[in-house]
């Protein structure tokens, strides 16, 4: 079945460590997104990519980095510069077709905690 | 700057009741509005997407309406069931940009 796979489901980060969250999709979607979800808040956009080898900062990009070397993959690295990384991270994708809005499809998320 | 608000933050109803969840947004220049369901510890599942030119969308017991001029959308759930218990989020995609803005969600609990 087509879908979005995020791994790992749970991740623990030590002080000063960089960690990478994986996101893979087999929906043949052009656009991919990373969101952060904190309790009681809406999703906030970290980074997005409309096409391979291109990505843009979202609203809260500081302390994060991404790459988009393949259409199906959009990994997110949480660097040591992100001082409050504990959150639920969601990856999404959508068809990127001109001006008409297309639905976003989500993975099951990765919960990141500080050790 | 687009802001999306969902009221109430939490709702508890007895099984079988019809209910309405509310979503409001401040900027009417949108491409679409999407309603999602989120179960605890899980990702978002898309329920309904309404394009800016549409007034409503229906899927089974769910009906979503959109009034762009007043900046409002409602999600109507008919004959609620315990399995409907989840958090429901609405999200709008603005024109002239690539971002989708999410509300904080309404946590629904349907009592058996």
Count other Cβ atoms within 10 Å, centred on residue A50. 15
Pairing of strands A76-78, A64-66: antiparallel
**Range B68-74 contact pairs with CB under 8 angstroms and sequence separation of 24 or more:** B68/B28, B68/B30, B69/B28, B71/B24, B71/B25, B71/B26, B71/B27, B71/B28, B72/B22, B72/B23, B72/B24, B72/B25, B73/B22, B73/B23, B73/B24, B73/B25, B73/B33, B73/B35, B74/B20, B74/B21, B74/B22, B74/B23
Asked if A2 has any chain B CB less than 8 Å from its own CB, the reply is no
Task: Give B-chain residues touching A112 at CB under 8 angstroms.
Answer: none
Q: C-alpha dihedral over B40, B44, B46, B50, to 10 degrees?
A: 110
Tell me: cis bond preceding B54? Omega within 30 of 0 counts.
no
Chain B contact for A18, CB < 8 A? Answer: no
Identify the bridge partners of residue A10 per DSSP, sorted by sequence position. A111
Per-residue pLDDT of B44-70, as tens digits, reads: 999 999 999 999 999 999 999 999 999
The answer to whether the CB atoms of B44 and A90 lie below 8 A apart is: yes
Number of H helices, E strands in chain B: 0, 11
Q: What tens-digit pLDDT sequence spans chain B (112 residues)?
A: 899 999 999 999 999 999 999 999 999 999 899 999 999 989 999 999 999 999 999 999 999 999 999 999 999 999 999 999 999 999 998 887 678 899 999 999 999 9
Please tell me the distance from the alpha carbon of residue A9 to that of residue A33, in angstroms, as a whole number: 17
Q: pLDDT tens digits, residue range A11-56?
A: 998 888 999 999 999 999 999 999 999 988 889 999 999 999 999 9
CB contact under 8 A, B31 and A100: yes
Q: What's the residue count for chain B?
A: 112
CB distance B43–A109 less than 8 Å? yes
Compute the nearest-CA separation of A34 from chain B (Å). 11
Pairs of CB atoms within 8 A across A/B: 64
pLDDT for A6: 97
By C-alpha distance, which of B2, B6, B4, B3 is closest to B87?
A: B6
Is A105 in contact with B46 (Cβ distance < 8 A)?
Answer: yes
CB contact under 8 A, A109 and B42: yes
pLDDT for A103 equals 79
Query: What is the C-alpha to C-alpha distance for residues B6 and A90, in angstroms, rounded to an integer?
Result: 20
Contact call for residues B45 and A106 (beta carbons, < 8 A): yes
pLDDT computed for residue A99 by the predictor: 47
Q: Residue A1 has what pLDDT?
A: 61
**CA–CA separation, A64 vs B14, rounded Å?**
43
């Amino acid at each position: 079945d087509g879908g979005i796979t995020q791994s790992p489901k749970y991740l623990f980060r030590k002080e000063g460590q960089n960690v990478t969250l994986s996101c893979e999709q087999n929906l043949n979607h052009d656009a991919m997104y990373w969101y952060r979800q904190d309790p009681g808040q809406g999703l906030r956009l970290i980074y997005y990519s409309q096409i391979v080898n291109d990505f843009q900062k979202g609203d809260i990009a500081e302390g994060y980095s991404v790459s988009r070397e393949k259409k199906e993959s959009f990994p997110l690295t949480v660097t040591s510069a992100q001082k409050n990384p504990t959150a639920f991270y969601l990856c999404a994708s959508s068809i990127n077709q001109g001006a008409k809005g297309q639905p976003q499809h989500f993975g099951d998320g990765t919960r990141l905690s500080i050790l | 700057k687009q802001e999306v608000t969902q009221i109430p933050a939490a709702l508890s109803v007895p099984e079988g009741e019809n209910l309405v969840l509310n979503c409001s947004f401040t900027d009417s220049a949108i491409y679409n509005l999407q309603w999602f369901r989120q179960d605890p510890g899980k990702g978002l599942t898309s329920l309904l997407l309404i394009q800016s030119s549409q007034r409503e969308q229906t899927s089974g017991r769910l009906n979503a309406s959109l009034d762009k001029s007043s900046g409002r959308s409602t999600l109507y759930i008919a004959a609620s069931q315990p399995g409907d218990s989840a958090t429901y989020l609405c999200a709008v995609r603005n024109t002239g940009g690539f971002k989708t803005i999410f509300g904080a969600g309404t946590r629904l609990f349907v009592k058996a």
